[in-house]
Amino acid sequence: MNITKNWFYKLSEILKTPLLRKEGLGVVIENNLVVAIFDDLNKSYDVEVWENSKVEIFWVLKNEDDFKLQVLQKEDRSNLILNYLILSFPHPDKGRLGGVFAKIESKLQANFIKSNVNILSIVWNEGVINLDWIIKIEEEIEKVDWNLVEENIFLWDTGKVLWIPTLLVRSDDVKASHACKMERISDEKLFYLRSRWLWRENALNMIIEAKIESLFSCLRMYDKDYYEKVIENILKII
């Protein structure tokens, strides 16, 4: 599916038919556009960004097996922003492992391109996140800027996050950075809110809600009503 005009899209609206993983299936953002996409399908697909276009993608992934996303920035001066919320909790069937298993591949093949990735992971008791991310930067390209900020919040003591980004860089004119934070929200961190006569669960929910709202804050600018609906649905899960 080719996107040809500035707009906020839901992925289910772009890909009208049931989405199955096939060669070449996905979304193409054509030249000189400003586009925002909310992935409401949680299915594998590809994204291709053309010249001088800015694309922002919002995504919530929860207990999804074998998710694959391929992102291609193939023409000059494209700008891609990815905002990912990952929720991993025990599977209702106690005999199965609950978790998120995903593979994402970013290919940067042009000059003066930017890519910013923001990931917030929330892990419940015995939840697992296994995220395989491969970044390929082709040779002889100039002024590439790739940044990733990752925050993992453990709500219990037994969750696991397996995360090793692979950088395959064939150019000398590249700026890349990766920041990763792991934390468990303990009673000590909740002390201030609990001292204001809040129950522990309420204080914990306030902290998590604030982090989720920050991650998806730009979605509010594109579609306020849909943003509020997304936040409401996420908080119901949590």
The last residue of a domain, from among 184, 206, 225: 184
- H or E element that contains 228: helix 224-237
210 and 128 in one domain? no
Between 227 and 13, where is the model more confident? 227
Mean pLDDT of the region 53-73: 86
Residue 64: what pLDDT?
Answer: 63
Residue 91: what pLDDT?
Answer: 62
195 and 164 in one domain? no
Instruction: Determine how many CB atoms are found less than 10 A away from the CB of residue 108.
Output: 26
36 and 154 in one domain? yes
In the predicted structure, residue 63 carries a pLDDT above the cut 80: no
235 and 175 in one domain? no
169 and 64 in one domain? yes
Q: Which two tokens stand for residue 213?
A: 């709202």
238 and 180 in one domain? no
- What residue numbers bound the domain in which 206 lies? 185-238
Residue 44: what pLDDT?
Answer: 80
175 and 89 in one domain? yes
Of 54, 117, 46, 56, the closest CA to residue 86 belongs to: 117
192 and 166 in one domain? no
209 and 151 in one domain? no
Q: What is the pTM of this model?
A: 0.87
209 and 123 in one domain? no
The last residue of a domain, from among 167, 184, 201: 184
The last residue of a domain, from among 184, 200, 222: 184
Which residues are bridge partners to 52 per DSSP? Answer: none
CA pair distance 101, 160, nearest whole angstrom: 12
Among 19-23, 41-45, 160-164, 228-232, name the most confident range: 228-232
180 and 167 in one domain? yes
Give how many domains the chain has, as a whole number. Answer: 2
- State whether the Cα torsion 206-211-214-219 is positive or negative: negative
Of 103, 45, 55, 104, the closest CA to residue 75 belongs to: 55
Residue 192: what pLDDT?
Answer: 67
85 and 15 in one domain? yes
In the chain, the amino acid numbered 69 is L
